């Protein structure tokens, strides 16, 4: 059996929290004591210099509780309006719980398009990256009040997996009301066994997932397996564990039952492979010898090192990077479109704002977005 990783071996962790953990549907309110214990676990990880992101469900469930809506299914506009009320309460609860550990929470509400459409994806990614650079904890949810059925994730399991891959996280923790994947539907006398490690999501694993789900959460095991596919193909490990215990992250670290979905790749390598192999280059940047040396020693490409701009690419497109002799050095995602790149080539980063009239990224290709030949 493959060895399970330990929590402390990860550098960037996304923790997804299901509605039923945060909201007590019977008593109609937030489970504050539990949230306090989770916030303490998050603070401990954060204190060990880890980046932590939270994907929190609960807007609709909490809104329903605050408004005192009767049990039963809500119509779409009711669910969206309930989310408007619940999201404020949710954000406040997170800000307070994290604030007690001197952590700043930053609320990020996204729709499907923000993670799928390239420009918006790049934008969302840089905003969240900035929050992490400031050592804040992004608290992310779907923008339920405005998302329409066509542009909706509908479940936070897949949203969390997309966020994890978007931010090149190396671990996604799904805290929910189940403690992992069982080899058959669990229940009294079923003899179902928890699967501790899934090395690869095979059709047999998918068959085990069945189609169950609790009343509050939309994501049953099926969406968790979908999330696992998104995460593990992009180089992010995933673990499903029960949140029905205080200090749920500490519990995982101490060996509580859970299911690990392992990825064969690491996120940076997976991303670079994708840049180098899967994208059609839309142009090229020819760079000088000094820039070639800088890139090979791990630096980003700055406008100053660019000699020539070829092609009609857009911001976010893949481009080929060539040395002064025309030989391909690598490929990367460019941070400016071709017209702007043409204007700032050879110029210092300080000049860029004066030339373009706006502050873009300092790098024309960030090193995380650059795959050098042979990497």
Which residue ranges make up the site for ligand GLU (CB under 6 A)?
19, 57-61, 83, 141-142, 144, 155-156, 217-219
Q: Which is nearer to ligand GLU, 58 or 235 (CB)?
A: 58
Q: Which of 166, 103, 106 is nearest to 140 (CA)?
A: 106
Q: Which is nearer to ligand GLU, 139 or 341 (CB)?
A: 139
Q: Which is nearer to ligand GLU, 144 or 179 (CB)?
A: 144
- What one-character DSSP code corresponds to residue 194? B
Q: Which is nearer to ligand GLU, 240 or 291 (CB)?
A: 240
Q: Which is nearer to ligand GLU, 64 or 345 (CB)?
A: 64
Listed in order, strand segments (DSSP E) in 57-203 are 105-110, 137-142, 171-176, 197-198
- What one-character DSSP code corresponds to residue 321? E
Question: Pairing relation of β-strands 137-142 and 51-56?
Answer: parallel
Whole-number Å distance between alpha carbons of 191 and 356: 66
Give the DSSP H/E element, type plus range, for residue 39: helix 32-47
Q: Which is nearer to ligand GLU, 51 or 142 (CB)?
A: 142
In the complex, least distance from residue 239 CB atom to ligand GLU, rounded to whole angstroms: 17
End-to-end CA distance of the chain: 30
343-366 b/e with 16+ CB inside 10 Å = b? bbbebebeebeeeeeeebbebbbb
In the complex, least distance from residue 97 CB atom to ligand GLU, rounded to whole angstroms: 16
Whole-number Å distance between alpha carbons of 299 and 304: 13
In the complex, least distance from residue 155 CB atom to ligand GLU, rounded to whole angstroms: 4
Whole-number Å distance between alpha carbons of 129 and 88: 23
In the complex, least distance from residue 177 CB atom to ligand GLU, rounded to whole angstroms: 11
Residue 101, helix vs strand vs coil: coil
Q: Which is nearer to ligand GLU, 153 or 274 (CB)?
A: 153
In the complex, least distance from residue 145 CB atom to ligand GLU, rounded to whole angstroms: 10
Q: What is the 3-state secondary structure (H, E, C) of 239-250?
A: EEEECCCCCHHH
In the complex, least distance from residue 213 CB atom to ligand GLU, rounded to whole angstroms: 9
Sheet containing 370-372: give its strands across: 306-311, 283-287, 318-322, 328-333, 370-372
Q: Which is nearer to ligand GLU, 176 or 263 (CB)?
A: 176
In the complex, least distance from residue 62 CB atom to ligand GLU, rounded to whole angstroms: 8
In the complex, least distance from residue 19 CB atom to ligand GLU, rounded to whole angstroms: 5
In the complex, least distance from residue 375 CB atom to ligand GLU, rounded to whole angstroms: 36
Alpha helices in 134-238 (DSSP H): 156-166, 203-209, 221-233
In the complex, least distance from residue 55 CB atom to ligand GLU, rounded to whole angstroms: 9
Q: Which is nearer to ligand GLU, 41 or 144 (CB)?
A: 144
Q: Which is nearer to ligand GLU, 213 or 281 (CB)?
A: 213
For 43-50, which contacts have Cβ atoms below 8 Å and span 24 or more sequence positions?
Answer: 43/98, 43/101, 43/103, 44/249, 44/250, 45/7, 45/8, 45/13, 45/249, 46/101, 46/103, 46/135, 46/137, 48/8, 50/10, 50/11, 50/12, 50/13
Instruction: Say if residues 69 and 130 touch (Cβ distance below 8 Å).
Output: no
């Amino acid at each position: 059996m493959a060895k399970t990783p330990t929590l402390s071996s990860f550098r960037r962790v996304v923790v997804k929290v299901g509605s039923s953990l945060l909201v007590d549907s019977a008593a109609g309110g937030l489970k504050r004591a539990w949230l306090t214990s989770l916030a303490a676990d998050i603070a401990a990880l954060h204190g060990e210099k880890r980046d932590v992101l939270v994907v929190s469900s609960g807007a609709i469930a909490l809104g329903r509780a605050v408004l005192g809506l009767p049990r039963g299914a809500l119509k779409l506009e009711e669910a969206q309006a309930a989310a408007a009320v619940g999201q404020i309460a949710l954000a406040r609860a997170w800000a307070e719980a994290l604030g007690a550990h001197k952590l700043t929470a930053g609320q990020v509400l996204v729709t499907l398009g923000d993670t799928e459409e390239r420009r918006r994806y790049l934008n969302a990614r840089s905003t969240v990256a900035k929050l992490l650079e400031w050592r804040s904890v992004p608290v992310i949810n779907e923008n339920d009040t405005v998302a329409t059925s066509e542009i909706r994730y509908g479940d936070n399991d897949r949203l969390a997996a997309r966020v994890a891959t978007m931010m090149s996280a190396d671990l996604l923790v799904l805290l929910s009301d189940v403690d992992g994947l069982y080899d058959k539907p669990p229940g009294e006398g079923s003899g179902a066994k928890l699967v501790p490690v899934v090395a690869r999501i095979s059709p047999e694993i998918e068959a085990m997932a069945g189609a169950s789900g609790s009343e509050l959460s939309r994501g049953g095991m099926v969406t968790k397996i979908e999330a696992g596919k998104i995460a593990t193909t992009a180089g992010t490990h995933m673990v499903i564990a029960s949140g029905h215990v205080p200090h749920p992250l500490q519990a995982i670290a101490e060996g509580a039952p859970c299911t690990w979905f392992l990825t064969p790749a690491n996120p940076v390598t997976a991303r670079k492979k994708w840049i180098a192999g899967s994208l059609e280059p839309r142009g090229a940047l020819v760079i000088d010898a000094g820039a070639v040396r800088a890139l090979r020693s791990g630096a980003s490409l700055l406008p100053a090192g660019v000699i020539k701009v070829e092609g009609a690419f857009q911001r976010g497109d893949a481009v080929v990077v060539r040395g002064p002799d025309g030989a391909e050095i690598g490929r990367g995602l460019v941070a400016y479109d071709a017209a702007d790149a043409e204007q700032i080539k050879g110029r210092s980063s300080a000049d860029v704002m004066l030339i373009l009239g706006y502050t873009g990224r300092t790098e024309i290709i960030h090193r995380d977005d650059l795959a050098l030949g042979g990497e």
